[in-house]
Homo-oligomer: A and B are copies of this chain.
Amino acid sequence: MGKIEDAIQQKEFKDPFNKAVVNLLYTHSYLVTSQNSLFKPYDISPEQYNVLRILRGQNGKPTTVSSIQDRMLNKMSNASRLVEKLKLKGWVKRTECPSDRRQVDVLITDEGLELLKTLEKLVEESNIRVVNLEVEEAIQLNELLDKLRG
């Protein structure tokens, strides 16, 4: 029984909206815990992985730090520091943008692409396992989440 009431030992909630917020926070923790253990052996965090995915999505075009920030799952995160970590591990390159020297062009390296290819397969398989829903239910969940934020 995966009911949220049991999981956090809270008998009742003010209303379904308040329950949904708590349920989302708890489910987030469930997902992130699973992701962390998946990424652990590869010396990369889920957030760093997400940045690599954004960079590859640009198909070889360099991307600025602020453009990465815009696409991140957590808008309050810090793309600048994540890029720095990725650079230290050789998965991205950072060059000054010639047309606007305030900007920094970030590009995924071949090593980064290689790592991403390996990880992406693992993540995709793991997500299917970790989300214990039927296809129709997953679609419905996406619709509800999109509307929730609306």
Q: State the number of copies, please.
A: 2
Beta-carbon nearest neighbor of A144 in chain B: B141
Q: A118 on the interface (CB 8 Å rule)? A: no
Residues of B contacting A27 in the complex (Cβ-Cβ under 8 angstroms): 24, 145, 148-149
Q: Cβ of B140 and Cβ of A24 under 8 Å apart? A: no
A145 to B74, CA, bound (A): 20
Q: A117 on the interface (CB 8 Å rule)? A: no
Residues of B contacting A146 in the complex (Cβ-Cβ under 8 angstroms): 2-4, 23
- What's the minimum C-beta distance from A129 to chain B, rounded to whole angstroms? 9
Q: A133 on the interface (CB 8 Å rule)? A: yes
Q: Cβ of B23 and Cβ of A24 under 8 Å apart? A: no
Beta-carbon nearest neighbor of A149 in chain B: B2
Q: A43 on the interface (CB 8 Å rule)? A: no
Contact of A74 among B19, B29, B137, B144 (CB under 8 A): B29
A-B contact pairs, 9 of them (CB 8 A): A8-B72, A14-B124, A17-B131, A17-B133, A18-B128, A20-B138, A20-B145, A24-B31, A26-B145
12 A-B pairs besides A10-B71, A24-B27 with CB distance below 8 A are A2-B147, A7-B149, A8-B71, A15-B124, A15-B135, A17-B127, A19-B138, A19-B142, A21-B127, A23-B145, A25-B31, A29-B74
On A, residues with C-beta under 8 Å from B are 1-4, 7-10, 14-33, 57, 70-76, 123-124, 127-128, 130-133, 135, 137-142, 144-150
